[in-house]
Amino acid sequence: MEMQLPAGSDNPRIIGSNAWAALGGPALSLGQKIGYLLEANLVYLTELPGEIRWALSSRGLFPAAKVESVGMQPLPETAAVELAIKQLELYAEGEKEIVNHSYRTFHFADLLHRQENAPMQMDREVLAVATLLHDVGIFPRAVAELPGNDFTVRGAHLARRILAQAGWEPHRIGLATQAITINAAARVPRHWGAEAYFARIAPLVDAVGQVWKVHASDAREIFAQHPADGVVPAILEAVALEAERHPDSRFALLKPVFPLLTMNCECRWHRRLGKV
- Closest by CA to 71, choosing from 236, 231, 216, 245, is 216
Q: How confident is the model at residue 1 (pLDDT cuts 50, 70, 90)?
A: very low
Q: Span 136-146, mean pLDDT?
A: 97
What is the tens place of the pLDDT at every residue in 196-205? 999 999 999 9
pLDDT given for residue 275 in this prediction: 58
Hey, how many other C-beta atoms are within 10 angstroms of the C-beta on 36? Answer: 19
Check: pTM over 0.75? Answer yes or no: yes
For residue 1, how many other CB atoms are within 10 A of its CB?
Answer: 3
- The Cα–Cα gap between 254 and 178 comes to 20
User: Are residues 228 and 88 in contact, defined by beta-carbon separation less than 8 angstroms?
Assistant: no
Give mean pLDDT, residues 37-65.
Answer: 93
Residue 40 has pLDDT above 60, yes or no: yes
Residue 268 CA, chain-centre distance (Å), reads: 19
SS (H, E, C) the chain: CCCCCCCCCCCCCCCCCHHHHHCCCCCCCHHHHHHHHHHHHHHHHHHHHHHHHHHHHCCCCCCCCCCCCCCCCCCCCCHHHHHHHHHHHHHHCCCCHHHHHHHHHHHHHHHHHHHCCCCCCCCHHHHHHHHHCCCHHHCHHHHHHCCCCCHHHHHHHHHHHHHHHCCCCHHHHHHHHHHHHCCCCCCCCHHHCHHHHHHHHHHHHHHHCCHHHCCHHHHHHHHHHCCCCCHHHHHHHHHHHHHHHCCCCHHHHHCCCHHHHHCCHHHHHHHHHCCC
Mean pLDDT of 101-112: 98
Least Cα distance to 181 among 75, 34, 36, 22 occurs for 22
Distances in Å between the Cα of 108 and the Cα atoms of 25, 111, 170, 173, 203 are 27, 5, 27, 22, 8
Domain boundary assignment for the chain: 29-58+76-273
pLDDT band at 2; cut points 50, 70, 90: low
The 10s digit of each residue's pLDDT in 176-191 is: 999 999 999 999 999 9
